[in-house]
Copies of this chain bind each other. A is one copy, B any other.
Amino acid sequence: MNARVAVPLPKAYRLLNHGPTVLVSSAHAGRRNVMAAAWNMALDFDPPKVAVVIDKSTLTRELVEASGEFVLNVPSRQQAALTLAVGTQSGREIDKFAKVGVGETASMVGAPLIEGCLGWLECRVIVEPHIQQTYDLFLAEVVAAWADPAVFSNGRWHFPDAQQRSIHYQAGGSFFATGDAFEV
């Protein structure tokens, strides 16, 4: 498990602002799952909210609707193969946690924190049945947020190590790493 420190809630949106692909972890009644989601974004600053697309066919959808909770985990480049694997295999067919390390227990939700990630957003679903059903679109409030202080501190990402960068999924097994930081 990487180190993790609390991110103040009004800064939690910055974990997602640059558009990384995330892992969505969920749990309900003794079952748990993890899937990849490139289609996520911040939705508000304070209280922080997020939006994420969770397809009807997934076990994650079932667990998120039953529990009303999930965690958005920000994986590193070292976890790209794992991210692709959990994004292409169904939790109905395999136990994804045979591959994915479960880290410490979340503070506010029942979904697990994924080991080795760079940041974590603990989320409670804001129930909006029409858009969930019509667009597979889930809105949620971020109720706790954490980051590895080696790569996120004082409200900013900084990536000293090329392998410990966030990642951005393209298609067909191809990703981009988060690139150079610059100021304008």
Contact = CB atoms under 8 A, between A and B. Distances in A.
Interface residues of A, number: 47
A183 B179 contact: no
Interface in A151-184: 155-157, 165, 168-171, 173-184
A170 to B, nearest CB: 6
B175 A177 contact: no
Given A39-B42, A42-B39, A128-B131, A184 B17 contact: no
Interface stretch (A24-32, A43-51, A116-124, A142-150): A43-51
Given A14-B170, A51-B41, A170-B17, A184 B179 contact: no
Contact of A173 (B39, B178, B184): B184
Given A17-B169, A19-B38, A43-B135, A178 B179 contact: yes
This chain: copies in complex: 2
B168 A19 contact: yes
B182 A174 contact: yes
17 contacts: A17-B39, A17-B170, A18-B170, A19-B20, A19-B21, A41-B41, A84-B184, A128-B131, A130-B130, A131-B131, A131-B139, A135-B139, A156-B170, A170-B181, A177-B180, A177-B182, A178-B178
A20 B182 CA distance: 15
Contact of A53 (B40, B41, B184): B41
